């Protein structure tokens, strides 16, 4: 089907999975890392960072924007994208909550 069922899960589980899924592509990881590193706003500079065409980069940016990892403002004829700081902390909490759980003793 290609369609993920959503009934039967908690809202938190769906939210976690949605964010993880968006981070589940090397281009989007690279974009997020780049934004965090330079700590600034960018537009088309990403063409120099990623091995992808402009339309494809635009789509990855849209994915990141959809879950609010990044935000953008129009600046004349170009865009300013940056990490949504508040959301980033929220995601750190969410994913950190999962990652922080202790695996305990191996049993198999």
Partner DNA sequence: ATACTTTATTGCAATATTGCAATATTAATA
Partner DNA sequence: TATTAATATTGCAATATTGCAATAAAGTAT
Q: Which residues bind DNA (CB under 7 A)?
A: 1-5, 21, 24-25, 27, 43-44, 51-56, 58-63, 72, 74, 76-79
- Provide the CB-side half-sphere exposure for 17 (13 A, CA): 9
Among DNA, its own copies, none, the one that 60 touches (CB under a kind-dependent 5 to 8 A) is: DNA
Could you tell me the smallest distance in angstroms from the CB atom of residue 97 to DNA? 21
Q: For residues 43 and 79, is the Cβ–Cβ distance under 8 A?
A: yes
Could you tell me the smallest distance in angstroms from the CB atom of residue 25 to DNA? 4
How far apart CA 31 and CA 38 sit, in angstroms, is: 11
How far apart CA 21 and CA 75 sit, in angstroms, is: 29
Q: What would the x/- binding string for its own copies be over residues 69 to 108, using CB under 8 A?
A: --xxx-x----xxxxxx--xx-xx--xx-xxxxxxxxxxx
Q: Report the residue from 32, 45, 57, 63 that binds its own copies according to the rule CB under 8 A.
A: 32
How far apart CA 26 and CA 57 sit, in angstroms, is: 12
């Amino acid at each position: 089907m290609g369609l993920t069922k959503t009934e039967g899960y908690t809202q938190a589980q769906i939210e976690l999975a949605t964010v993880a899924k968006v981070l589940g592509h090397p281009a989007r990881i690279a974009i997020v890392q780049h934004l965090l590193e330079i700590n600034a706003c960018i537009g088309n500079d990403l063409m120099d960072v990623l091995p992808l065409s402009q339309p494809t980069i635009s789509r990855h940016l849209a994915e990141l924007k959809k879950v609010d990892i990044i935000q953008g403002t129009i600046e004349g004829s170009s865009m300013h994208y940056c990490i949504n700081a508040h959301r980033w902390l929220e995601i750190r909490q969410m994913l950190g909550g999962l990652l922080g759980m202790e695996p305990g003793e191996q049993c198999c």
